[in-house]
Every structure is written in C-alpha cells, then in structure tokens.
Amino acid sequence: MNGWIFVDKPKNITSFQVIYRLRKILNIKKIGHAGTLDPFATGVLAVAVGEATKSIHYFKKNKSYNFRVVFGELKDTDDVTGKTIKSSSVIPTKPEIDRCLKNFLGKHSQIPPKYSAIKLNGTRAYKLARKNHDFTIKPRTVYISNLECINSLNENEYSFRLDCSTGTYVRAIARDLGIMLGTFAYVNELRRTKIGKFDEKDIILLDKLEELVHIGEHFEVMHSIRDVLDDIPAVTVNNELRHKFLNGLSFEYVNKKYQNEFLLVQTRSKLLGIGKAIKGKIKPIRVFNL
C-alpha cells in the first residue's frame, strides 16, 4: 500500500488525529500528511501512505480556500477558536474590502500567526504563545494569485475565495486585512478546496474510507506517487542505471534544461525514486521500494 489519499478533514480535530485514525483504518504505521489544516478547518488533506511518505517533502503545490472573515474583533489565534483581545465598531463595506484586496496579490510579505506550527529555536510558536512568551516571527514571502470577496453574509461577516502558494496563512490575511481597513478581523470558517490538481471531487470522508477498507476497495481512491508528483520531470533509465540508482550510486546525465533540479527516476514500467541533477550526474535522493 504505497500512494496518496486525499481526505476530507472533519472539523474540530487536528491533522495528526486524522493520521492516527487512518493508521487504525488502514492498519499501517508508515503514514503522514502534507500541509497541515487547523483543527477548526475542513477540506482537502493530502495523506501519504507507505513508501509515498518519502515524497511528502516534494509535494509543494498551490492551494485554494473558501473562508469567512468576521470584522470588528481581534482574536489571539486570529481565528474563531481564540479569545477576543481587542474590538472595534468599524465594519467595512464590500467596496472598501475589494479596494484593499489588490494589496495582497502577487508576491506578498506575510508574518505568520503566533499560534502556528512554525519552529523558533526548536519550539513550536503556538507552544510559546500558550505560555505567554514574548517572541517575534520573521516575515515570509508567499504568492497570492487570486483573492476575492464573494459576498456579505451578515452585518460584519464576509465570504472569500483564495488561491495561493504553499506556506500561506489564511488567518494572517484576515488579520492584516482588518488592520488595513482600520479595524480588526479573524477567520470564522475555513475550507481548503484544492491542492495542486486535486480538489473536492478527489477527497473521501474517513467513514467512507473505512467502509471501502472493509470490502477491499480502498485502492481505488489511492493515487500513485507518479500521479501526485507529475510536476517533477521524469527520466527513464535502462537496467544498468536502475541497479546503480537503487544502490545509491550516481550516474552520468547531461541535460542543460535540468540542472540542480529534482527528477523522477523510472524504468519503462516502474518508478524508482527521486534524484537530483548535479554537475552532469543524477544523484539518488529518495529510493522507493515499490
């Protein structure tokens, strides 16, 4: 059992709790996820099973979200689960919001929320925040290709749609948008709708997956490593080079198009692993035992 499953993460559980349940459902220990979703969030969670866990690091796809923002309150977590620490009577109109959104498009410098999984000197930021430690998180550059306000849900709540690079914090967008509009804001609801080419038509509920496991049809919802990493160029090798690669040995490869890039290494019938083109050679980085 080696591949990827795209799960519809339920609300009010952590991404790790999803993995814990999947370990029991699939009866497999080697399992992990790419792209954590906050406990209050739902939607597409990419889960690697078996040898596919070796490919998690290379699954860095753009993501899409639908979310709701409440204006007039600042939460310590920047989402609905936190404590209100500031409030304002200023509630923006949709035209005012629309004018602000262009400031986020393209390359955008963003400071992640203090309640996040970013490590500072080996400790997760959210652990420091819970202990009321004073700390700062350095800004990071993200890319936002689309951000739009869809409609007004009530007097102080609006719905949004977002397409962005991996590593983007939706909560930080809401927080910063509130500040730009002279008020405060937090994310009230969040759903990830897409990772790369995988969207809501590709996801499965945990209960449904458990049903499929019982009747032995769960392999039908599993995606191959090759399918999931289809944005990485592939190199097909002969039997001699296959042996070298599987034994951790580099081999000659001259291609000016691919220098210092990761490549899928395969035979005509089998994916062998991930290599890297370095100085006229391909060096094995991850070897799959498929």
Q: Percent of the chain scored above 70 by pLDDT? A: 100
Who has greater pLDDT, 188 or 260? 188
* pLDDT at position 249: 94
Respond yes or no: is residue 176 known to be catalytic. no
186 DSSP β-pair partners: 70
Decide if pLDDT at 217 tops 90.
no
Residue 176: its pLDDT value, please? 97
pLDDT of residue 138: 92
pLDDT for 216 equals 83
Model confidence at 237, in pLDDT bands (50, 70, 90)? Answer: very high
What mean pLDDT is reported for the chain?
94
Domains of the chain by range and CATH? Answer: 3-61+197-227 (3.30.2350.10), 63-195 (3.30.2350.10), 232-287 (2.30.130.60)
How far is Cα 171 from Cα 163, in angstroms, rounded to an integer? 14
Q: Which of 64, 60, 87, 85 is nearest to 75 (CA)?
A: 85
Tens digits of residue pLDDT in 123-169: 999 899 999 888 999 999 999 999 999 999 999 999 999 999 999 99
Q: pLDDT tens digits, residue range 62-112? A: 999 999 999 999 999 999 999 999 999 999 999 999 999 999 999 999 999
In this predicted structure, the answer to whether residue 257 has a pLDDT above a threshold of 80 is no
For the stretch 49-76, pLDDT in tens is 999 999 999 999 999 999 999 999 999 9
Residue 210 has pLDDT above 80, yes or no: yes
Residue of 38, 76, 79, 176 marked active site: 38
